[in-house]
Structure formats: C-alpha cells, structure tokens
Chains A and B, each alone.
Chain A
Amino acid sequence: QKEVEQNSGPLSVPEGAIASLNCTYSDRGSQSFFWYRQYSGKSPELIMFIYSNGDKEDGRFTAQLNKASQYVSLLIRDSQPSDSATYLCAVNPNTGNQFYFGTGTSLTVIP
C-alpha cells in the first residue's frame, strides 16, 4: 500500500466551478499535510499546509483534514484556467523531514 494516494485524474472542471482534489494517507501518526501545485515543466510550489483537523482557507483555496479518516482534500473555488496543473499531496509522517508525495492529480480548468 502506498503511503499517500491520489486519484491521478485527469480532472476537468469548467471555469468558475469548484475543483475538489482528494488524498488519503496510510500512516495514522502523520502530523503535517501539504498541497503543492506543479505546472508542466516546472518544480512544485507550495499552496497550503494544514496540521489540525478541519478546514483551513487561504483565498480561493481550502484545505480540509480528517485525521480519523486519514483524508486530506483541497478545494479550489472559482477555478481559473491558470489553475490547470498537477496537484501534489504531501504528508510528513513525523519521522523526520522527509515527505511522502502522492503521484499527483492533473486538473484542467476549461474556459
């Protein structure tokens, strides 16, 4: 079983819609959760991190964490074509600084 799993997609949403990206993880002791965005040919850039159960909002982005279900998600409101990218979920299992990354979900926002 992979440590972090994501639906590879592709996920397509129309412009202005809400995009929902999901991630599950296997290590119940994990404490830190991150979402990165990676445009084609570029390196990942940090969007958000979340440590506590519940929702965390930053502009159009909302991260949701449910440790009991070992589930973390990212909602993108008012999706824009510029949001089209691969979104990587990362988990720190708290055994050091090493992250476990999911394989990423490809998102396409259709104008």
Chain B
Amino acid sequence: GAVVSQHPSRVICKSGTSVKIECRSLDFQATTMFWYRQFPKQSLMLMATSNEGSKATYEQGVEKDKFLINHASLTLSTLTVTSAHPEDSSFYICSAPQGGTDTQYFGPGTRLTVL
C-alpha cells in the first residue's frame, strides 16, 4: 500500500508553545489530506480536511485559529497546534487518499504531550 509519514512521532512541549506536525505522502501525490485526533480509548475524530492550494475545511467545534493547517504541496500538509495546552495532549494522525482511488492510508501518528 501507499506510504504516509508523519514527523515527529512524539513531542513533549510546555503549555503556551506551538507545535508543528508534518504529514507527507511518500510515493503518491495527495491533493487532499485529513487530520484526526484520538484520545485514549476513544475513536478517531476528524478535525479537518487539508486541501492543496486552498483553505482547509474544519469540522464543527474545531478552532481553525488554534489548529493551523497548511497544505504547501501535493505531498506535504502541516498541522500547527498554537498555544498548546494540556487538554490538547492527544494522538494526532493524518491520512491521505491514494491518487485515483479513495483508499485512505494513515500516517503513523504523532503523540503530543503538553505539560
């Protein structure tokens, strides 16, 4: 299957700082990528849809000014958690549909801990 990478895999930061997470499609181009958040023992929650060349689409209840998304190229989307707080600690996962299909492949995830 297609390969999606994320960086970093784990990050610990102080409250009030910003954290950038990168999502890359390594062997295909993705005009759309998805960002999810998952709290322990809970299901995936879609946060936003990242669109190459245009603004991201955010799900209801997700603050677009806090979770900044930039889809800079056909292989890279970034999620920046601004002014992070302990309640933002979670597992952030991106996914991308492989070109020509609707099959989504997930990145390995980024575990964010805000102290």
Contact = CB atoms under 8 A, between A and B. Distances in A.
Physical interaction between A and B: yes
B108 A44 contact: no
Contact of B103 (A34, A96, A102): A34
A97 B108 contact: no
B109 A49 contact: no
Given A46-B1, A103-B43, A90 B108 contact: no
Interface centre among B44, B46, B93, B103, by most chain A C-beta atoms within 10 angstroms, is B44
A32 interface: yes
Interface string A78-99: 0000000000101010001111
Listed from nearest, the 5 A-B pairs whose CB atoms lie closest are A103-B43, A43-B109, A43-B106, A97-B97, A43-B93
Interface of A: 32, 34, 36, 41-46, 49, 88, 90, 92, 96-99, 101-104
Interface of B: 1, 32, 34, 43-44, 46, 49, 91, 93, 97, 102-109
